[in-house]
Structure 1
Amino acid sequence: MAIVSPGAMGSALGRGYAEGGARVLACVAGRSQRTRALADGLDLVDSLDAAVEAADVVLSVVPPGEALAVAGAIRRSAAAAGVTPLVADLNAVSPATLARVGQALGGLDLVDGSISGPPPRAASTRARTRLYLSGPRAGEIAALAHPRLEPRVLAGPVGAASALKMSTASLYKGLAALFLQATAAAQRAGVLDAMLDDVAPTFPAQVAELGSWLALSASKADRYVTEMREIAATQAAAGLPSELFEAMAVVWERVAGSPLGALSPEQAAGVTDAAAVIRALGLPAAGFPPET
């Protein structure tokens, strides 16, 4: 198996599959020191060509804006080596973008996948991680042994898993964006504590871990921008207004440019002060002057 690429999610997936008995290859050439550290324990090779040539299965786990380019790179590597690995695209993209991924792969078979939950790490005490899969060969990916992953094959063609991801992500990440905007407005008005007290019975988990939740979300904001636009495209294709998630993309774009947006998820994990997080995000509320 080849993992493209071994970031936080990809490396955790890869280590679990290695524990399940697979040989898991990855290339970190040109990647950051953080990615190199995350890939510890995987079988590192010098190039994508080498990883794809040796693999029966290739998993694409990249930011949504990179999915098409990565698909093209996998196709070129496979063609150069004369191999035909099964490719699973596990990225947060719309069904329409996934169709373009399939085209970019040329004749390689494609499994559509979406990940729900945190990276499946051995020491994680967080929620379960599910891998939803669709397409004619989805069962082959679901059959791969992984001790901390719940594979679920969906009825329907390639595209069904991506459609599910667009719906679930619209709630998970849309809710985070709503909390960002609402708490920023409340803090500017001096009513943050009262607001949180009012909404805590309805959103107990979010309020209890507000600082760490918003900080972790902010550290991933750069990839959320494209993801919100993929969601907007999915909803437009369903005959729904796209403006809501186009606006969510604007929110995450601004967050990505904040000091918290520059943190890695590992750095953000140590940030817990909700009021400090909201100030650092720099989201001024309409009707209230910025703090001085």
Structure 2
Amino acid sequence: MTIKTVGIVAQGDMGAGTAGQLTRNGLRVITNLTGRSDRSLALAKHAGMEDVYTDATLIDQADIFLSILPPGQAVALAQKMAPYIKASGKKIIFADCNAIAPATAQEAQTIVEGAGGRFVDVGIFGNPPKQDKNGTRYYISGPDAGYLTQLQNYGLNIIKCGEEIGRASAIKMCFASVTKTMIAMMAETVVAAKALGVYDEVVHELSSYQTDGFNWAAARVISTPPKAYRWVAEVEEIGKTFETVGLPGATCTGGAEMFQLIADSPLGKETVENRQRGTTLEDCSIVAADYIKGLSKK
């Protein structure tokens, strides 16, 4: 099968970023923008995504379908698309590219294959690809994963990592367990330090003790607010992954509470394109600490 048309849902930063890389390199990318936000419409337009208006048309016209959305919605999207896959009568490749536990990927696999489709497990590493910077890696696994290697011809960095569904997700979960928990811990630390009136001293000690590690984590805390809502479910999926091999998932899932707090605070209203608050580590700590103080007064 030669890939000529790729269907993508949704149109967020990673979905639109992936679409933009494909369209810039000559591939047709389609989506369904019905009911989507103004921001999603703008991102889709910038990425060159073509609106086909319905999910049925999306499945009918796509050679492969990429599910790229907040991880808590991954199984629901598979369930939503399953009737259209069944009605189409085609063995479409459904690639789940979300940050989910291997067991969750296998749950989505059961749904897709039950409708007659073929399933590929994908783990995405790095920031959304851009025209001038494309360090994003797409790890793929599953019996039908080889089809996705064609996307290397259209600007994606595809890495095949095995025949087993869940393998790509396992790599993603183990990797993200380090990055996301470090970010959550740094965020919680500086907010606590601000609330306790010792922010300057704590930041001085952390930055002096491990300069590179501090700078890495601080920069990612600053970039977190627009993405925090997505990371809640991702960190919960990491905990689920660890529990399946007998490890304590709570080591990671505590971070979900911190990301939820950020998402619920004024920081959660930030967008990538229009940052107003939390553009420094200290301002992130001020906004979150003030938010917590306000909660305690209710």
Q: TM-score, normalised by structure 1?
A: 0.89
Query: CA shift at 1:206, angstroms?
Result: 4.6
Task: Tell me the C-alpha RMSD between the 2 structures.
Answer: 2.4
**Aligned pair partner of 2:288 in 273, 277, 281:** 281
User: In the alignment, what sits opposite 1:115?
Assistant: 124
Q: 1:129-168 maps to which residues of 2 (within 5 A)?
A: 129-145=136-152, 148-168=155-175
Contact between 2:26 and 2:154, CA under 8 Å: does it hold in 1?
no
CA distance in 2, matches of 1:219, 1:152: 28
**Aligned pair partner of 2:59 in 21, 27, 52:** 52
Contact between 1:216 and 1:268, CA under 8 Å: does it hold in 2?
no
Name the amino acid aligned to 1:42. Answer: M
Q: 1:86-101 maps to which residues of 2 (within 5 A)?
A: 86-101=93-108
Q: Does 1:16 align with 2:25?
A: no
Contact between 2:66 and 2:97, CA under 8 Å: does it hold in 1?
yes
Q: 1:139-288 maps to which residues of 2 (within 5 A)?
A: 139-145=146-152, 148-200=155-207, 202-204=210-212, 206-207=214-215, 210=218, 213-268=220-275, 271-282=278-289
**Aligned pair partner of 1:34 in 31, 39, 59:** 39
**Aligned pair partner of 2:7 in 2, 7, 10:** 2
CA distance in 2, matches of 1:79, 1:283: 51
Name the amino acid aligned to 2:126. Answer: G
Residues 67-118 of structure 1, C-alpha deviation per residue, up to 9 Å, x if partnerless? Answer: 1111122221122222221111000110111111011112311110011111
User: In the alignment, what sits opposite 2:3?
Assistant: none
SS in 2 for 1:143: helix
Query: CA shift at 1:237, angstroms?
Result: 0.4
Query: CA shift at 1:29, angstroms?
Result: 0.6
Aligned residues: 285
Residues 203-246 of structure 1, C-alpha deviation per residue, up to 9 Å, x if partnerless? Answer: 42653783x53242122111211111111110000110122222
Contact between 2:195 and 2:289, CA under 8 Å: does it hold in 1?
no
- Unaligned runs of 5+ residues in structure 2 are 1-5
Residues 229-279 of structure 1, C-alpha deviation per residue, up to 9 Å, x if partnerless? Answer: 111110000110122222111111111110001222222388522211111
Q: TM-score, normalised by structure 2?
A: 0.88
CA distance in 2, matches of 1:206, 1:142: 37
In the TM superposition, structure 1's runs of 4+ consecutive aligned residues that sit over 4 Å from their partners are none
Contact between 2:182 and 2:217, CA under 8 Å: does it hold in 1?
no
Query: Where is the helix percentage greater, Structure 1 or Structure 2?
Result: 2
Name the amino acid aligned to 2:86. Answer: A
